[in-house]
Chains A and B, each alone.
Chain A
């Protein structure tokens, strides 16, 4: 595709429900990142996928958060038993190789609101 695509753009969910956020990276990009951005805050790293390597999950804030990347392409971030503090914009980015000099392109984000 032309860029990184995320869906849905907006998601309102009730506290305690599970949600799935989807990221379609740029075709051929082996590196994929998930970040969380609370209102007016910075980019909090969540998880990083690189090719067939084991993902770096060091940024996931709790065991309610998980992510997978199927076939080295599409990624899904799942939040179980959502809490109000999970409300944020979830950004996905992809880059060609993940190494130095390869630009990371961001999706438009999914705005998650937990009510």
Chain B
């Protein structure tokens, strides 16, 4: 089955700096890669996603890049704000099974 690895497990940045979270996946048939944000005590919520036919997608301060050859995708947050502090999970849909497999999460802390 699919295996998704996520790094780093914790990340602290100064307000206004950029943050980058990286994930790799194992199933070359995976074709959809969402990112979820989970604030303390709340449910995970989708913040951005990318399909395998696209290399990059941007939504305001958030962008995701995908390298299919390397089976690697990353989340980029620019001009970080304290409200960006949360746990971020990457995920991949394994092509045939359509099962959503998550990475282990990154605790992002934006220091004011």
Contact B100 A104 (CB under 8 A): yes
CB-defined interface of B31-45 with A at 8 Å, one 1/0 digit per residue? Answer: 110100000001111
Residue in A35, A42, A50, A105 whose beta carbon sits within 8 Å of that of B104 in the complex: A42
Contact A58 B1 (CB under 8 A): yes
Whether, in the assembled complex, A7 has its beta carbon less than 8 Å from a beta carbon of chain B, the answer is no
Whether, in the assembled complex, A107 has its beta carbon less than 8 Å from a beta carbon of chain B, the answer is yes
Q: Which of B45, B98, B104 has the most CB of A within 10 A?
A: B98
Residue in A35, A100, A106, A108 whose beta carbon sits within 8 Å of that of B51 in the complex: A100
Whether, in the assembled complex, A71 has its beta carbon less than 8 Å from a beta carbon of chain B, the answer is no
Q: A43-B89, A45-B101 are in contact. List 20 more A-B contacts (CB 8 A).
A: A33-B100, A41-B104, A41-B105, A42-B89, A42-B105, A43-B44, A43-B105, A45-B100, A56-B97, A91-B43, A91-B44, A98-B98, A99-B98, A100-B31, A100-B52, A100-B93, A103-B49, A104-B34, A106-B44, A106-B45
Which positions in B face A, CB cutoff 8 Å? 1, 31-32, 34, 42-46, 49, 51-52, 89, 93, 97-105
Which positions in A face B, CB cutoff 8 Å? 31, 33, 35, 41-43, 45, 48, 50, 56, 58, 91, 93, 95, 97-101, 103-109
Q: Can you list 29 A-B pairs with a CB-CB distance of less than 8 A?
A: A31-B98, A33-B99, A42-B89, A42-B102, A42-B104, A42-B105, A43-B89, A43-B102, A43-B105, A45-B99, A45-B102, A48-B97, A48-B99, A48-B100, A50-B98, A56-B99, A93-B100, A97-B98, A98-B100, A99-B93, A99-B98, A100-B52, A101-B51, A103-B34, A103-B49, A104-B34, A104-B100, A105-B46, A108-B43
